Amino acid sequence: MKRYAPSRLPIKWKLTLWSSVLLFLVFIAYNTVQYFFVEKWMMRQEEQAAEQTMREILNFALERESTFAGDDLHEMRSFLQKINQHNQRIRILDEQGVPVAVVSDGIEDSMAAAITSVPREPWRSAHISGNLLLMERPITIFQFVGTVEIVKNIQEFEQLSGALFRFMAVGCLVAVIVSGLGGRLLARQLVKPLQAMNQTMKNVKQKGLSERVEFYDNHDELATTMSMFNEMMDKLERSFQQQRQFVEDASHELRTPIAIVEGHLGMLRRWGKHDPAVLEESLQISMEELSRLKALVEELLVLTRAEHLELDEAVAVCEPEQVISQTIKNVNVLHPAFHIERDLQALSGVCLAISVEHLEQILLILLDNAVKYSQERKKIAVRATVIEERVCLEISDAGIGIPAKDLPYVTDRLYRVDKARNRKNGAADGNGLGLSIAKRLVERYHGALAIESVEHEGTTVKVFLPIRSDAEGI
């Protein structure tokens, strides 16, 4: 199979050539139509002029009831000379074709014979041969039966038509030049934004992800493309920053427990292994740090699985009220001091497009955070509402809240609000992965997670999940 070999011409030259060819073809088509229209119109004008002369001759003869003899013939010749035009011959022939009256201005008999001697279609009112136009009409007045014949030289018309053709040919040549220049200008304007994007990409390669395309937003497709490119670069830069921050934070989080365990093991090796109290304390601290390290690794694995989760389009929770109520009961067992209110009536008969396991995991993360940061006011509320084709689950607490400056980042991986602030308010430190996992799971099911918080008053987390309308019977 023969493969298509793409052209190596730059895109600006392709645009120049194609736009030039298009403009040239449009101009050629317009000139061709105009030329044939003008030619037909001018020929029609010549025929109408000959027709008018013919009508005047016939009307004159009929009005005077001319016998085409004696004084009548003399009067007819005078009239014919009066109405005859330059480069035209008028003849009146009798029944045998013998000329009775002849008036000529610039038409020789030999020239006229070129058209009068050739066969003609009887149904045509006018005949054209070479540069001559022939028009014939029968005339009958009393005993006279004959023909009125007009022969007109249309050479001037042909010359004018030729001059018009040459003018249009020159116009076509000019059109080629203008089309080339116009195509070049058009291509330059169209390619300029693409060149700007290309240069920006080179700058990104050399200088980093902070480079952006400078453009004027005139709301066309190219401006939209460049705007999307800048938005993509913003997201890419933020993603790289988050990735770098994640690597730094993960390294720090992993290094800290390892350093603590290493320190205690070193101390035991040097002198503490013979002191039972020191040995017990070091082993206890090491076990706590190893448990913390294990939990961190497990949460990182859960986050990775959430980001690469393959969805089952048929999965659904058709009794979400029971699932949520059971999860709340499980949390109450672990934290009996907390009062958790729930209003889940809106979920009756609703199927959520999410698996039972992931719905429970999201609720546990959010309820655990609500408990963790509500050390004094032990009250949590869980509400459900239906908004169009989505369910909104609200988990509200009356805890310490989140500072406004930290609110946009709390769903980033390993991001934690100031530890000193948490200790001051009696809140336990976490690994900073819970909200990240919850957000990734919600988004994988085409939902959304929003957080509203007022410091020292409380936090409300809203989880929006789509309704599965075709899940009856699942």
Element (H, E) at 133: strand 132-141
pLDDT tens-digit readout, 43-90: 788 788 888 888 888 888 888 887 788 888 888 889 988 888 888 888
Which own/partner pairs from 106-112 qualify as long-range (CB within 8 Å, at least 24 positions apart)?
Answer: 106/153, 107/151, 107/152, 107/153, 111/153, 112/151
pLDDT at 98: 87
Average pLDDT rounded to a whole number, residues 435-444:
87
Inform me whether the pLDDT recorded for 317 exceeds 80.
Answer: yes
User: Domains in the chain, ordered, with CATH?
Assistant: 11-160 (3.30.450.20), 221-307 (1.10.287.130), 320-466 (3.30.565.10)
Render pLDDT for 456-474 as a digit per residue (tens, 0 to 9).
899 999 999 999 875 544 4
Higher pLDDT, 217 or 441: 441
- Give the long-range contacts of residues 191-195, CB within 8 A, separation 24 or more: 191/11, 191/12, 191/15, 193/222, 193/223, 193/225, 193/226, 194/11, 194/222
| pLDDT given at position 310 | 66
Query: Is the pLDDT confidence value at 7 over 70?
Result: no
| pLDDT tens, residue by residue, 259-275 | 878 887 887 777 767 77
What pLDDT digit, counting tens, does each position of 162-212 carry? 787 788 778 777 877 877 777 777 777 777 777 788 888 888 888 887 888
pLDDT score at 291: 80
Q: Is the pLDDT of residue 422 over 60?
A: no
> What is the C-alpha to C-alpha distance for residues 80 and 60, in angstroms, rounded to an integer?
10
Higher pLDDT pick, 168 / 139: 139
- Higher-confidence position of 334 and 42: 334
Res 115 pLDDT > 80: no
Task: Please give the pLDDT value at position 393.
Answer: 95
pLDDT band at 241 (very low <50, low <70, confident <90, very high): confident
Is pLDDT at 324 greater than 90 in this prediction?
yes
Q: What local confidence, expressed as pLDDT, does residue 220 receive?
A: 74
Contact between residue 320 and residue 474 where contact means Cβ atoms under 8 Å apart:
no
- Taking 90 as the threshold, does the pLDDT of residue 383 lie above it? yes
- Out of 64-68, 326-330, 422-426, least confident range: 422-426
The average pLDDT across 89-98 equals: 86
pLDDT above 70 (res 156): yes
* pLDDT at res. 303: 66
In which residue are the tokens 């290094």 written?
255
Residue predicted with more confidence, 11 or 138:
138
Closest CA to 375 of 397, 393, 347: 397
- Mean pLDDT on 304-327: 79
Decide which of 181 and 307 is more confident: 181
Q: How far is it, in rounded angstroms, from Cα 293 to Cα 157?
A: 102
Query: Quick one: pLDDT band at residue 5, thresholds 50, 70, 90?
Result: very low
**Cα 362 from Cα 290, distance rounded (Å):** 25
Tell me what pLDDT residue 289 has. Answer: 79
- pLDDT value at residue 358: 86
Query: Taking residues 6-27, what's their average pLDDT?
Result: 71
* % of the chain surpassing 70 pLDDT: 84
Q: For residue 380, what pLDDT is reported?
A: 93
Comparing C-alpha atoms, which of 374, 364, 306 is closest to residue 338? 374
Average predicted confidence (pLDDT) for the chain: 80
Most confident among 105-119, 390-404, 411-425 (mean pLDDT): 390-404
Q: What is the 8-class DSSP label of residue 141? A: E
Q: What is the pLDDT of residue 397?
A: 93
Is the pLDDT at 447 greater than 90? The verdict is: yes
User: What is the helix, strand, coil percentage profile of the chain, to 5?
Assistant: 55, 15, 25
pLDDT of residue 111: 72
Dump the DSSP string for 6-39: ---S-HHHHHHHHHHHHHHHHHHHHHHHHHHHHH
* Res 250: pLDDT: 67
* pLDDT score at 427: 47
